[in-house]
Amino acid sequence: MSKKVGWTADGIFYNNKVKALEQVNWDASKIQFSFKDQELTTYDFSVQPKKDFDTLCLEALLKLRQSYKHLCLWFTAGTDSGTILHLFEKYNIPLDEILFYDRKYNVYDMWDDESAYVKNEMDRFKKVQPNCKLTVVHIDYDNARKYYTKNKAYWFYEPHINIRFSKNLRYNIVQNNPELAREFEKPTRCDIFAREKPRLILDQDKWYMTFFDNIEYDTYYIGFHHFFWDNLDIMCKQAHLAVDYFESLPNFTQELLHKVQSWTPGLQYSEYCKAIGLTLPKWKYLSEGWSKPSTNRNSKLYESYNITNHAKKDDRKIFDYYDQGVKYIGQNIDLSNGSECIGFNMTKTYFLKNKQIK
């Protein structure tokens, strides 16, 4: 197991935040969040790489191609994974497999148009590279049902969990597909995941890049290669491009910074993605971030909202397992904001540059 990401309590490392908090009787001041500490603390993020973003990405892809026999891109056709696929095509680098996790619930479906677009992009790429394998992993309500049947009311002890009912993290996807899990064990295989954009904070006229522990770090636990984050030059370059973008805005405010980085959909979101080197999808729904779901469990836009209600009404035993776990956590942490994360956020922060005073 990778110890790059997790929590430490009383000198013990945990890949589960609940276990870490239990170790110190839920005293949050006694746990520490670890995120690739050894790598990040020795890298100077204040120095922007001289090479342009495209060149850095090309070099990273060529290195992966030379290092692994089988490259598999986990694909959603959004700005991040879409950019990686675009680079494979642009530079004619062989890609062995594209994998799409299709969220098409039999009890409720809101993904028909998005799924069709993703599959169309996969088919289009296969015409360019006919040897590329196309894999679709279906995520259905049974995915959640199997999860709670196995773990019952103690589901919250699984690695890197959140309070989302659907349990469709990549870790769960792999665990529910034994053949895929066996593939992950092969040292000649690399599963590429387009980890999210850099997150910035501006504090006392100083820009920092920060990492929150409520992001789904389960992908580190099972061994994905995080394309934009595991290469620190790419991560640093994107962060500086993001700073340049925000400082160029005549109407810049802290509120605007938060809105854009919280994936508030619209034209500004697509402008931001383009400014940090990403290739925009042809479909406005994805390029402007309208596919980004709410993270509030009580919102009707929340991904698990409808299937949670289905379980509550028609699959009561499964819902009770879920509900018991949420109530246990809620006895010790305030969950009143409806967030899917386990309570408060913990951060790791790295200095980028001083804000330019206009």
Tell me if 154 sits within 8 A of 325, measured CB to CB: yes
Instruction: Kindly report the number of other CB atoms within 10 A of residue 254's CB atom.
Output: 10
What pLDDT does 215 receive? 83
pLDDT tens string for the chain (358 positions)? 345 899 999 999 999 999 999 999 999 899 999 999 989 999 999 999 999 999 999 999 999 999 999 999 999 999 999 999 999 999 999 999 999 998 878 777 667 889 999 999 999 999 999 999 999 998 889 889 999 999 999 999 999 889 999 988 888 889 888 999 999 999 999 999 998 899 999 999 999 999 989 887 889 888 999 999 999 999 999 999 999 999 999 989 999 999 999 889 999 999 999 999 999 999 999 999 998 877 788 888 788 888 999 999 999 999 999 999 999 999 998 888 888 888 778 889 999 999 987 6
Domain ranges for the chain:
44-354
pLDDT confidence of residue 1 = 36
74 bridge partner residues: 99
**Which segments within the chain are labelled E, that is strand?**
5-9, 12-14, 31-35, 70-74, 97-103, 133-139, 189-193, 199-203, 206-212, 225-226, 347-354
Q: For residue 135, what pLDDT is reported?
A: 97
Distance of CA 335 to the CA centre of its chain: 22
